[in-house]
Amino acid sequence: MKIANVFLGKTLGGIEQAFLDYTQALRLKGYDVVDFVHKDGLLKDKIPLEVRKRELPFRKRSPVTFYYLFQTVKSEKPDLILVHYKNSLGMFRLIGKISGIPVVGVAHNPKTKHIIKSDFIFSITEYQRRIFIEAGYPSDRIFVVPNMIDADEPFKAFDGFQNPPVIGAIGRFDPMKGFDTFVEALGILKKKGIKFRAKIAGAANKSYEDFYKKVLDLISQNHLEEDIELSGWTDDKKSFYEGLDIFVMPSNFEPFGIVVLEALKYSRPTVSSTAEGPLEIFSGTDAAVMFEKGNAKALADALEKLLSDLPLAAKCAEKGWHLLKERYDLRTSGAATLDKAVSSVFKQLGKA
């Protein structure tokens, strides 16, 4: 079966990584995959050479864009279209209707406005699936397909903290990501005399310049200028994670959290907020120390707990790595879950 995997945004981030992971997982399961990407986007240079891609223009509600997309679908003749970019979903839904090709909306967040127009939905969490069902979408056409990563790193037993310990977080400077809570928690640790160094990898775009300034102000107010390194975006994820003693996911809202999986991949002890995605990942496990989202004191307490208990840190690292391998490994469980969802769609369509 041939599948068109579609992302027509221009930026790079968690959704874009999920798109690339879908391509790899589908190919592992024997599907013929063609990637549709924006001709001016950063993603087009991340597509592996062995993967066929179509570089396309995209402007919302543009007749010219619709023409190019329609002609591309007509020439490729896919059996299924997977759309990761909500702004293009409407066009592909119409193209699919005209061409008789089913369209799957891959739901990377719980917003219902565009996604419920899809023929089928792949939801990254059970939490989102329930939201779509409550919005009236048929339950038999929604499949939970968690995000996945290539878990190709061997487990490394955690044998001690650096002096001082290094605590890190990664993501864009968006209020949802909770970096203000993270900085406030570090300020509490400093006031208690607990030594540490901290790293935040990420950057702010123009939409979030005010939040970035807020984080800088909090760093100054808590006298953390010498304690926190703002390193910007990094392409060397391995060096970033392996340089940490503790990884923190401080998000106030997080549909999933691929960076959590990355931390588990590198056997990092993890502290996570109770945001929607991480809560579902870690529920019923001992793979992370959790804290109430948005609560700086609770985060500081969680960090202090982990810093003062080496066996607990080692246990979190080991259980987290095994959790990743069992549920979210692209090459095994992740690819199998995606394949099952795709096969279920084809079965409902009578193409199995």
Query: Are residues 319 and 335 both part of a single domain?
Result: no
Query: Are residues 90 and 203 both part of a single domain?
Result: no
- CA distances to 84, 127, 339 from 28, rounded to whole Å, are 20, 28, 10
Residues constituting the chain: 352
pTM for this predicted structure:
0.91
Residues of the chain with pLDDT under 50: none
Query: Are residues 282 and 145 both part of a single domain?
Result: no
Residue 257 belongs to domain with CATH number: 3.40.50.2000
Number of domains composing the chain? 2
Query: Are residues 123 and 197 both part of a single domain?
Result: no
Residue with tokens 């995000």: 147
Half-sphere exposure of 346 (CA within 13 A, CB side): 17
Residue 157: inside a domain: no
Residue 159: inside a domain: no
Query: Are residues 184 and 297 both part of a single domain?
Result: yes
Among candidate residues 157, 155, 205, the one with its CA nearest the CA of residue 177: 205
132 and 116 in contact (C-beta within 8 Å)?
Answer: yes
Query: Are residues 18 and 130 both part of a single domain?
Result: yes
The DSSP annotation for 232-280 comes to ---S-HHHHHHT-SEEEE--SS-SS-HHHHHHHHTT--EEEE--HHHHH
Residue 35 Ramachandran class (φ > 0 left, ψ -120 to 50 alpha, else beta): beta
Residue 161: inside a domain: no
The β-bridge partners of 3 are: 33, 80
> Whole domain around residue 139: which residue ranges?
2-149+329-348
Ranges of beta strands (E only) in 43-184 are 52-56, 80-83, 103-107, 120-123, 142-144, 166-170
The DSSP annotation for 205-235 comes to -GGGHHHHHHHHHHHHHTT-TTTEEE----S
Query: Are residues 127 and 179 both part of a single domain?
Result: no
Residue 124: inside a domain: yes
Output the pLDDT for position 175.
Answer: 93
Output the pLDDT for position 12.
Answer: 77
Output the pLDDT for position 13.
Answer: 79
- Helix (H) or strand (E) holding 339, with range, is helix 335-348
Residue 154: inside a domain: no
Output the pLDDT for position 65.
Answer: 95
- Helix (H) or strand (E) holding 36, with range, is strand 32-38
Query: Are residues 145 and 182 both part of a single domain?
Result: no
CB atoms within 10 A of CB 75: 8
Residue with tokens 């939409």: 207
- CA distances to 31, 314, 340 from 310, rounded to whole Å, are 45, 6, 40
Output the pLDDT for position 14.
Answer: 82
- CA distances to 18, 261, 274 from 269, rounded to whole Å, are 23, 12, 16
- For residue 157, give both structure tokens: 């037993």
Query: Are residues 229 and 254 both part of a single domain?
Result: yes
Helix-helix angle 14-28:258-265, to 10 degrees:
70
